[in-house]
Structure 1
């Protein structure tokens, strides 16, 4: 706005002078005192800054996104409508345009594994905060921050990635936040029904069905999805069901009420993990033929937004979530060996409640102030039974109970941010967040092989967080940004009370904390081009690890500090954008993003650990592709390339012979092709091939072995809209 005023002042002055000159000339003509003098022509032009802002919003969040300030925070937005339909939750395709996020692939849909910039093992995404519409998807956000449920991709409209400052916006976890935005019916949508049905290799069948309407004051959308796969090994089958309901009421332009209901149910076999030697010999080997996992997650959300007047606005959410994780797990056996004598049924339930209330005040010339609070409570019983029936049903509790714990969490936060707009297009964003966490475990039954007393532990922590962002707009649609922010990892149930160890913690370990620095430049300087390049440095203090004292006893201790630094770059270019083809709805986009990472231990209680590379910290992660789309076609070719990476912090190989595991996960490149073809207004065809080159690889390893990734797989199907 300041720049527009500067441009308007000389323009107004020129117009005034021209008017005075014309008046003087008219007087001269009347009196005849002077001859008419012709002045040189003056050309006045101005750039419309809005076109640059609109171009950037195809790839990043608005600078003030409702009650959230994201300017000076590095953000990436993937609009899923701009790419072909993702089938079977292929997360490499879903996140192909999301730089730096490492997907550790697990074929069964009951665990989802992400990591970022070498901060923590991706197992169940414990070090990444994954949300849906700003509400955590974890089992228990504080005590058990694991990701066992993920919405079917067809039900999402976009994926948002927020790096530094994410903890100040949303709360615990070092960084980043992955926020999944649910699909909503567009304005003025008449009553419509659609069904999508796909078949593919390994017994794949996927069905997604929607009915929606958005006209007048009311809007609704209901969907139901089902995905089945036989997998690539025996006992690798899976079934995933999902249902969603969205109901919104907008009585006037100043307010809206909405209700969201999400239900996810997944069941899958667990064929077991393999040593590297076994994987080379036969990747279809099954080591746990009787094991099985069940996941159920139901969530109800009530939301409200309102313009309060006086440039104040409100956004409030109230939610309840119930999630149940049930597993049947017996000891591993190799082909030809006798089956184990018993299995363990585990029931891990989570009942969580939360509210998120945020206010925004617009003031001055482009300034904005936000303030809010989050309150959260979890009640999470944890139970186990031992049964001689290796195929016991999920609710069969007739065996001997070997564990019973009552667990609870409480969390409260208060936070505020302000963006100050200064002269010369400079903006400053100071942030503060005050947090309190309490975690408690009360045990009534412990495993019979333990001799320790029953656990009755509770621990609470207070955490102030601070951040500062600086930015400057320059040129045509460019911006430099700098952000330094604190973050932390919540205290978990296992951190204060390991349930399967004889050793008592005595006191909980210190909290794991991060300080993230990031500086970069991004923009859309010419038609069709967007770029974002930054350097980052993350100090992660008081890493918490499991230390094995003997074959049974473990303890969770602070083992040291790590440092992650590197460069992250993103480049998107629509080749057709500067041409007349863009006016006809044609787009040919090429994209490339890369994360270059150097991560090291800088301090450790473990001898010889300093200088080693943390697990799951590849030196580079590259994602690239090309996509063609218009009103009838969406066609994409994408590739993900990862450098070799250690799978454990020791950087050492494990075992020998048939139990051998190398120190590193080998480098790999995976190429996918996907397409949507709109044959008519109501008929759309879908087809694609994942892992086009049939690359044999793995990128998921745990202490008991690796999980083979899918080879080349195909799918085809159709969608009808009425």
Structure 2
């Protein structure tokens, strides 16, 4: 066959097919004309775009699969700080007003931060709450010394994430919850931008926050510096807080990114001392420790990488190093007019910690996701003390007599996996598994001179498997029911295996404190502008670890018993302008209210008469509410936090008498704040606000040696410029 014929053959076949098709159509048309038409019943079809409900919910909760983290069936709350006025001076009650259930035990000086949740543990330095920045622990030593002495300026954060049940399976030690602080990043396409914010206020407040950033092409960076100074409300109450951050990212293609983070926080503050209730009533400005001082320095380097592989696999990996130094100068308390103490103690605790967090995710099937990962952590934390007659000794002056020297180390490793199964009828199931191992060790070369025990050489290692199960069901328009049962735990600390200031030897470390948390609820955004989340919870916390006094000097850390916390937590947000034409003009008038109702009790105890009592810092209710008006030019908010009375120690009893008297309970209080941002033009923004608008005189932080007065009414005003 010639080439011409071969070329014409397909054309001929095509003509034949078209002829047959035309003949068939003519034949069908004749059949149709010979039959009478049949009228079928009308069927109405309505399209409902589920994505609008998902987008509405993401204003208030985390994505169901957030990178390599599965959060569906875990109760989460997200506070987008850009949706409210600027928070000045780290007013944490204002920053966490939309975060249900988190109790802020206020300390005016910026060298300790105190949170607790659902009655699990004392809020002292947030020891029972895991606080993270971008998924990396903020504690001094995550395992051996899980205390919070540094907190980034809220101007450098984009959002605050709160994760309840299942948080230990997602991130690791501490019963619940996780508070994850998310750093600001420059949005894609951001040109070179420079901004400066400067604020002045009562009690010598001066705050300055400055940023330069850019994100165009393959490279992005953001650098900021912050400085906050305050004279405080009492003598020896002044403080200075400095911060610097650097973020540098490189994105060679659409499937991967490398980034580098550097965070530096430095705080120095006087410590005016704690007061008895009688002293606070007589004069809340009384100073009992005029020579005491605290220094905190924290530097952190992070290297991160994300990669989207083929076949629906993705990777997120982080490697970090942190150095934190806590130095304090502390002398015995004295009343005004009394002779000063003869000596002071200079204490230095350094923390050098290293860690890596590697997570893989595989998307499979129709909406299913599998995650697996590992976390490795190591800490080297020397602990030293000196005694000196110089009551104003400098932080680095070690010329005094050394009275304590310990080498402390911690190790932690975990393997974990989770999977979300999407089943018919919009049902999803999330089983979780995490295997944990910790080891802490203390080696002592100098012991306090008032003790007679041998030098400490102790080490202890523990293994802990954790299990969790989540169930959920999407129904209606943007609603979801969720159920989660999961285990959590609190690691053994250095003090748990070897109390440094006791003559008693530990002998053997106590059992691990562990929790089982149950939560069931429903949340959703069923109509435009409305979001709700209501749940009931039950937490069994076993093997509580507490200090037991043997005599005036000797203490030992022992498992004292079990507690049960149960209650209700609800959140309601409504934007009155969302269903109206005002929303198309960028106008929002949003009211919110969230409440935590708590019933916590001791269910077992080796302490006589303790069963049935209420654990410390477990208020029956914690109510937070407010209203915010915002548009392109204005952000104006009024917020309130109201707490029921709460016991400050587990005995539920008063303490001392006369000048040392402390009532059994911290009185109930309500505090109202107002804050505003006014964008006058493209470059200039004005800021103003009043904290504790009603000038409420109260306190919510108490320790064995007294209370710390909360700050009364204060104001601030300032401006921000951007170019």
Superposition TM-score tier, normalisation by shorter sequence:
over 0.9
Query: 1:385·1:402 contact (CA, 8 Å) conserved in 2?
Result: yes
d(CA) in 2 for partners of 1:616, 1:176 = 16
d(CA) in 1 for partners of 2:481, 2:40 = 42
For residues 156-175 of structure 1, what are the alpha-carbon distances to aligned partners after superposition, in whole Å with 9 as ceiling and x for unaligned?
00000000000000000000
Moved over 2 A (4+): 23-32, 34-43
Note the 1:522-561 alignment, pairs <5 A: 522-561=523-562
User: Match of 2:18?
Assistant: none
Query: 1:133·1:182 contact (CA, 8 Å) conserved in 2?
Result: yes
User: For 2:34, what is the secondary structure of its paired residue?
Assistant: coil
Report the CA distance between 1:35 and its aligned residue. 4.7
For the pair 1:286 / 2:255, whether they are aligned, the reply is no
For residues 107-158 of structure 1, what are the alpha-carbon distances to aligned partners after superposition, in whole Å with 9 as ceiling and x for unaligned?
0000000000000000000000000000000000000000000000000000
For the pair 1:111 / 2:112, whether they are aligned, the reply is yes
For the pair 1:378 / 2:379, whether they are aligned, the reply is yes
Note the 1:659-674 alignment, pairs <5 A: 659-674=660-675
Query: 1:29·1:36 contact (CA, 8 Å) conserved in 2?
Result: no
Query: 1:111·1:149 contact (CA, 8 Å) conserved in 2?
Result: yes
Cα gap change, 1:451/1:580 in structure 2, threshold over 3 Å: closer, same or farther?
same
Query: 1:28·1:36 contact (CA, 8 Å) conserved in 2?
Result: no
Note the 1:450-461 alignment, pairs <5 A: 450-461=451-462
For residues 400-455 of structure 1, what are the alpha-carbon distances to aligned partners after superposition, in whole Å with 9 as ceiling and x for unaligned?
00000000000000000000000010000000000000000000000000000000
d(CA) in 2 for partners of 1:607, 1:367 = 51
Unpaired stretches in structure 2, ≥5 consecutive residues = 1-23
Query: 1:28·1:34 contact (CA, 8 Å) conserved in 2?
Result: no
d(CA) in 1 for partners of 2:77, 2:711 = 28
Note the 1:274-673 alignment, pairs <5 A: 274-673=275-674
User: Match of 1:257?
Assistant: 258
User: Match of 1:13?
Assistant: none
Report the CA distance between 1:36 and its aligned residue. 5.0
User: Match of 2:88?
Assistant: 87
User: For 1:73, what is the secondary structure of its paired residue?
Assistant: coil
Cα gap change, 1:336/1:523 in structure 2, threshold over 3 Å: closer, same or farther?
same
User: For 2:93, what is the secondary structure of its paired residue?
Assistant: helix
In angstroms, what is the RMSD of aligned CA positions? 1.2
User: Match of 1:236?
Assistant: 237
Cα gap change, 1:45/1:29 in structure 2, threshold over 3 Å: closer, same or farther?
farther
For the pair 1:198 / 2:195, whether they are aligned, the reply is no
User: For 2:278, what is the secondary structure of its paired residue?
Assistant: helix
d(CA) in 1 for partners of 2:429, 2:589 = 37
d(CA) in 2 for partners of 1:610, 1:36 = 82
For residues 216-267 of structure 1, what are the alpha-carbon distances to aligned partners after superposition, in whole Å with 9 as ceiling and x for unaligned?
0000000000000000000000000000000000000000000000000000
Report the CA distance between 1:309 and its aligned residue. 1.0
User: For 1:391, what is the secondary structure of its paired residue?
Assistant: coil
Cα gap change, 1:546/1:50 in structure 2, threshold over 3 Å: closer, same or farther?
same
Query: 1:163·1:176 contact (CA, 8 Å) conserved in 2?
Result: yes
Report the CA distance between 1:46 and its aligned residue. 1.4
Report the CA distance between 1:44 and its aligned residue. 1.8
User: For 1:436, what is the secondary structure of its paired residue?
Assistant: strand
d(CA) in 1 for partners of 2:685, 2:633 = 9
d(CA) in 1 for partners of 2:230, 2:574 = 36
Note the 1:147-226 alignment, pairs <5 A: 147-226=148-227
User: For 2:280, what is the secondary structure of its paired residue?
Assistant: helix
User: For 1:309, what is the secondary structure of its paired residue?
Assistant: coil
d(CA) in 2 for partners of 1:688, 1:696 = 19
d(CA) in 1 for partners of 2:421, 2:355 = 31
Cα gap change, 1:582/1:335 in structure 2, threshold over 3 Å: closer, same or farther?
same
For residues 517-568 of structure 1, what are the alpha-carbon distances to aligned partners after superposition, in whole Å with 9 as ceiling and x for unaligned?
0000000000000000000000000000000111110000000000000000
Query: 1:346·1:383 contact (CA, 8 Å) conserved in 2?
Result: yes
User: Match of 1:691?
Assistant: 692
User: Match of 1:51?
Assistant: 52
d(CA) in 1 for partners of 2:187, 2:66 = 19
Report the CA distance between 1:25 and its aligned residue. 12
Structure showing greater Rg: 2
d(CA) in 1 for partners of 2:27, 2:675 = 71
Report the CA distance between 1:34 and its aligned residue. 3.6
Report the CA distance between 1:308 and its aligned residue. 1.6
d(CA) in 2 for partners of 1:355, 1:644 = 42
Report the CA distance between 1:24 and its aligned residue. 9.8
Cα gap change, 1:576/1:455 in structure 2, threshold over 3 Å: closer, same or farther?
same
Aligned length, in residue pairs: 700
d(CA) in 2 for partners of 1:472, 1:521 = 9
User: Match of 2:17?
Assistant: none
Cα gap change, 1:181/1:31 in structure 2, threshold over 3 Å: closer, same or farther?
closer
d(CA) in 2 for partners of 1:268, 1:349 = 18
Greater CA deviation, 54-63 or 27-36?
Answer: 27-36
Query: 1:361·1:368 contact (CA, 8 Å) conserved in 2?
Result: yes
